[in-house]
Each structure stands twice: as structure tokens, then as C-alpha cells.
Structure 1
């Protein structure tokens, strides 16, 4: 049965699995809404809302997900992010993070996670299991997923700070805030 679907198509479906699930829920809710009357019609509205939310989350995850065939493995366990690489590795606490940045200077690009005590962990964006970082980062105060996704699209050749703990200053000369964040802080 596994050979029935081409590997490329199976990979594409797996890559967009949350989006496909959200579309299925939304389609079922739409069918339910159009084929029902009275109280059944009104109960289909929350199901449609759930489908729309799942589609939005699926799009975010699909944009963040990489091939996962890069060096090392990422493991997120409760509030701890661990990276096991072929040459280096380590772990950081989500609660102690002071900064999350994307560093395009390495090959492949790396997520740079810095704790408030200066401990830094570099994780390749292509590491296996890197999609678990999205859930870990969602725990951070004032974290914006759109900045994370924007960091993957912007290639400015310098470190792109995705998130900083409020009240923490970046290290000088190494991390640059994009112009949009400076403008937002002034507002």
C-alpha cells in the first residue's frame, strides 16, 4: 500500500498535513452548514471557525517546516530545547531565553538561542525535528509568529533578531534589529 502513492506526493502531503486537516474540517463544516436547518445550522458555525483556525495554523507550520535532512536532531521536552549535532550540541531552557535570532552567516542558516546568562545554542534550520521549535517559541512572552516566518524570508546577511525578552538589550555588534521593530517600539 505504501508504494501506491509516489514518494514525492506522500512527502508533499506530509509537509502540509496540518493545512490539509484544517481544510477537511472546514469543508465538513461547510457541508454541514449548507445541508442543515435550525439548531444544526447554528452548531456548524463553531466547527467552521475551528476549520479556519486550523487552516491558519497549518499555513504557519507549513511555512516554518524545512526538509529536516540537515545535521543534528532537535528535541523539545516541556520547557527545554536540546540540540544533538554531529560536532556540537547543548540545551537551553525556554524560560531562561533572552533572545531568539536567525543567523544566515552559517551553512545552513542557524537559529541562535541565547539565555540571559549568555549561554548560546546554535541549531541549523534544517535539523531533524526543528518544527518543534515553533511550539516552544509560542511560550515566550510577546512572541510573534509572523516575525519568525518573516526571518526565514528576509536575507539581509546579518543576524535577524526574531524575539527578545522585554527589558533585555542585545549584545553589541552581533545582533541587529530589523527597521520595522524599531519603528514599532517607538509607537
Structure 2
């Protein structure tokens, strides 16, 4: 018997990093403003760390997929993998030249990674461990996290360019 409704459990799980960041921030603020000596200084450090966790958690919670999908996403330092029951896609991060997010009227999102040869890897945002797609953006300087947030709240059929390799050459 579950005492917590599945919807409430899913909502809490989606916002878990925000809750953790808020608790760490509150603890740091308590120490920073009420303690003396070394605990006071430690409180300021914990407060700053907590604020960082809180901001990162908010960013992740706003783009975290709301439902499970087919496949599993994996990310290591050199490649992004999307594994399916019968095959999958492996994309070396160094060969990616463009990242888009396509949204659809039904509320689904698909990440599109285009490589140097023009091949497109389409990864649904509802796949298991899809939050690793957001982590992959750290490999691409200038990637727009705001466009990801905008795409995650889009209602209709749209395409959002998240990052594109600068191909301009100086002569």
C-alpha cells in the first residue's frame, strides 16, 4: 500500500534537487546569521553552495522530462549514447555541429544532434536518463540553456536551435 499518490511522488522526484538545494541554503543561512566563530564562516560557504545547488536544481527541474519513454541515454566524456532494445545510436561529442530541440503539439520533445556528415541523431526527451542530454550541453560553449527551458514549455510544433558550431573562418 502506497501512502503517497504516484503523481505527488513523481512531482517530488522531479523537484528533488531544488528541495535539497533549499535545505542546504537554509542550513547555511542559519549558520551564517546566527552562529559565531568558525561556524559563522562555514555557514557562508554552505549558503553559497546551497544557492548554487538551488539554481542548478531549478534549471534541471524546468527541463526534466515528465514521463518515461523508450530507450536509455548514456553520456561519458567522449560520446553520447542512446540505447534501444534493438540497437541504438552513439554520437561522438567532438563531431556534433548542431543541437536542436523539436517540440510537438502533443507535448513531446526530441533532441536532434547533427554531426559533421549531416547525420541526425534523434533522442526523445522522455527517454530514461534524458537529463544527461542537459549535461551534454556543458561540452558546447555558448549552448543556450534558456532555449532549452523555452522549448520545454512550448505547446506546439516548433524547432529550437540550442547550439551551432561556429563555421566562420578568417582569411
**TM-score, length-normalised on structure 2?**
0.84
Aligned residues: 167
Indicate if the aligned counterparts of 2:103 and 2:151 stay in contact, CA closer than 8 A.
Answer: no
Report the counterpart of residue 143 of structure 1 in structure 2.
143
Deviations 1:47-98 (A, max 9, x none): 1111111000000110111134222222223321111346773111112111
Report the counterpart of residue 117 of structure 2 in structure 1.
117
Indicate if the aligned counterparts of 2:31 and 2:42 stay in contact, CA closer than 8 A.
Answer: no
CA distance in 2, matches of 1:28, 1:54: 13
Report the counterpart of residue 17 of structure 2 in structure 1.
18
Change (3 A) 1:31 1:11: same
* Displacement after TM superposition at 1:11 (Å): 2.0
Change (3 A) 1:158 1:34: closer
Runs of 4+ in 1 over 6 A off after TM superposition: none
Change (3 A) 1:40 1:91: same
CA distance in 2, matches of 1:158, 1:11: 27
**2:66 paired with 1:67:** yes
Q: Alignment partner of 2:94: what SS?
A: coil
Change (3 A) 1:14 1:156: closer
**Structure 2 unaligned regions, length at least 5:** none
**Structure 1 unaligned regions, length at least 5:** 169-187
Deviations 1:15-67 (A, max 9, x none): 11111110110011112123212443233112111111100000011011113
Q: Alignment partner of 1:41: what SS?
A: helix
**TM-score, length-normalised on structure 1?**
0.78
Report 1:1-80 matches (<5 A): 3-80=2-79
Where is the strand percentage greater, Structure 1 or Structure 2? 2
CA distance in 1, matches of 2:46, 2:109: 39
* Displacement after TM superposition at 1:113 (Å): 0.5
Change (3 A) 1:132 1:99: same
